[in-house]
Amino acid sequence: MSVVALAPERPALVLDATDRAPALARRYLAVRFAELGYVDAYVGQVVVTELVTNSYKHVGFGRIVVRVLPEADEGLVLIEVADDGGGLPVVQEAADDALCGRGLLLMVRLVDDWGVRPLDGGGKVVWARCAR
């Protein structure tokens, strides 16, 4: 029988749904990227900012849970943001004079892949894979 040693997983970041959540998530992601040996966290910070901001603005209650996981086989990193909301994110083109509504569109263009999966008992996880 072979034994596989797994590195301990770093705990997820659990946030209150407040206007402070995006900044705390950016800080967590930067630290997590450094722990994983990734040099540039800029795209990851843009992605986590958008996903956490959407959770706090569009759900507005409960906890927001952020996880950052390496995907060694593909050279990508997985960013997950979970919340208690049932609504799904929708990518839309914003009108030229719109003051908001471009964040998810920008994020989609920066990542390799993204999606949403429901959680048992309610809520969802929005995830994105981006280059390290």
User: Measuring CA to CA, which residue among 60, 48, 110 is closest to residue 84?
Assistant: 60
pLDDT of residue 9: 62
Sorting pLDDT into bands at 50, 70 and 90, what band is 70?
very high
User: Measuring CA to CA, which residue among 124, 125, 127, 110 is closest to residue 42?
Assistant: 110
37 belongs to a structural domain: yes
The domain that holds 73 is classified in CATH as: 3.30.565.10
100 belongs to a structural domain: yes
5 belongs to a structural domain: no
pLDDT of residue 3: 45
pLDDT of residue 99: 67
pLDDT, tens digit, for every residue of 9-67? 678 999 999 999 999 999 999 999 999 888 899 999 999 999 999 999 989 889 999 99
* pLDDT, mean of residues 86-101: 77
Q: Burial of 47 by CB count in 10 Å (0-12 exposed, 13-18 middle, 19+ buried)? A: buried
32 belongs to a structural domain: yes
Q: What's the structural domain count of the chain? A: 1
Residue 35 — φ and ψ, nearest 5°? -60, -35
* pLDDT, mean of residues 80-105: 83
Token look-up 């950016």 returns 26
6 belongs to a structural domain: no
* Average pLDDT of the residues of the chain: 88
76 belongs to a structural domain: yes
7 belongs to a structural domain: no
Q: Which domain range does residue 103 map to? A: 12-131
Sorting pLDDT into bands at 50, 70 and 90, what band is 96?
confident
111 belongs to a structural domain: yes
Instruction: Check: pTM over 0.85? Answer yes or no.
Output: yes
* pLDDT, mean of residues 87-111: 82
